[in-house]
Amino acid sequence: MLIAATDRKISMLPFAEQIRLIAEAGPDMIILSERDLSPEDYKALASSCMEVCRRNNVIFAADKFAAEAKEIGADALFIDLEELRSSKPEGFDTVLTTIRSEREAVEAEKLGADILIFRDVFDLTCKSCRNAKGLATLRYVLGSVDIPIVGAGGIMPDVFAEVLASDAAGICMREGFMRTKNPSAIVAAYREAETRIKGAR
């Protein structure tokens, strides 16, 4: 499972063009992570992004704005674990949340999350040394729940195979997708790593 998260502030190209290229590249899901927008502005942007996603058979996930996401008919919603603790949003096929420990993973599953995003697989303060401080924890957490867990945080194509070899269900990447004019190369690298890891099992 390959998930692209957005950040229009670091987009290599005009945001609409970047989203189009990412969707056409064919990740499994795009999360529109633009939380600084007003609900009205987010709804308008989400509607156009969802249309592009559906045109390319990519799952569109809204981020945080549950009411607006429901109004436009989004199939998936990403929310913080704290929000999930309050109540699970209704009306979505898939609810995602982030976790950082086994305890949070077990809690999120009990609260009804469908996909978990494990944060900080790689040490973001140590990009040059690629310190996979969270990889061991990810491997440990994977055995605690029955729902898919994807890795996130400092992940780039050179470590796709390393993350997938941990038996994670996939990866979630933001910067790699937003800072490239060729997201198809990102997706191709992921699919190649995915095929290679599956073949080695």
Burial class of residue 43 in the structure, from the number of CB atoms within 10 Å of its CB (0-12 exposed, 13-18 middle, 19+ buried): middle
pLDDT digit string, tens, across residues 141-197:
999 999 999 999 888 898 899 999 999 999 999 999 999 999 999 999 999 999 998
More confident of the two residues 201 and 155: 155
Say what the pLDDT of residue 130 is. Answer: 54
pLDDT band for position 83 (cuts 50, 70, 90):
very high
Q: Which helix (H) or strand (E) holds 5?
A: strand 2-5
Residue 68 has pLDDT above 50, yes or no: yes
Q: Which residues contact 81 (CB under 8 A, 6 or more apart)?
A: 97, 98, 99, 104, 107, 108
- Strand partners for 95: 77
pLDDT average, residue stretch 32-45? 97
3-state secondary structure of 89: coil
DSSP 98: E
The confidence band for 129, taking pLDDT boundaries of 50, 70 and 90, is very low
Q: pTM value?
A: 0.93
Q: How far apart are CA 94 and CA 84, in angstroms?
A: 13
State the CATH class of domain 2-200. Answer: alpha beta
Cα separation, 40 vs 53, whole angstroms: 20
Residue that is written with structure tokens 């996401």 in the block: 69
Checking if the pLDDT of 10 tops 90, the result is yes
- Cross-strand partners of 172: 3, 152
Q: How far apart are CA 46 and CA 30, in angstroms?
A: 11
**CA separation for the pair 77, 66 (Å, rounded):** 7
The domain spans of the chain are 2-200
The rounded mean pLDDT for the chain is: 93
DSSP 149: E
Q: How far apart are the first and last CA of the chain?
A: 17
